[in-house]
Amino acid sequence: MKLFTRRNKTEPKGTQVVLRIEGMHCTSCGLLIDDELEDLPGVRSAATDVRAGRSVVLLEEGADVDSAVLVAAVEAAGDYTAHPAG
């Protein structure tokens, strides 16, 4: 009887997009932004770091999501300003 299953530790396939975000004040800000981003088609996950002022968005393999759409989703979540990092 197997009690635990081991997760696959390989990196998920897909493109990462890093957004710089201003206007976040707390963990709830990051959660709201993550929810908005993850509701977009083609987005696999989002991880927002309030202290670092950025969000790392992982797109599904083969997805073509314009960074302007990601920025619009962040700004729709509240009084935030976002732009692609780099």
Q: How confident is the model at residue 7 (pLDDT cuts 50, 70, 90)?
A: low
The pLDDT value recorded for residue 14 is 80
Task: List, for residues 8-66, the tens digit of each pLDDT value.
Answer: 555 567 899 999 999 999 999 999 999 999 999 999 999 999 999 999 999 999 999 99
The Cα 75–Cα 18 span in angstroms is 15
- Amino acid at residue number 40: L
Q: What is the pTM of this model?
A: 0.83
The pLDDT value recorded for residue 73 is 97
| 48 three-class SS | strand
Dihedral sign computed on CA atoms, order 61, 66, 69, 70: positive
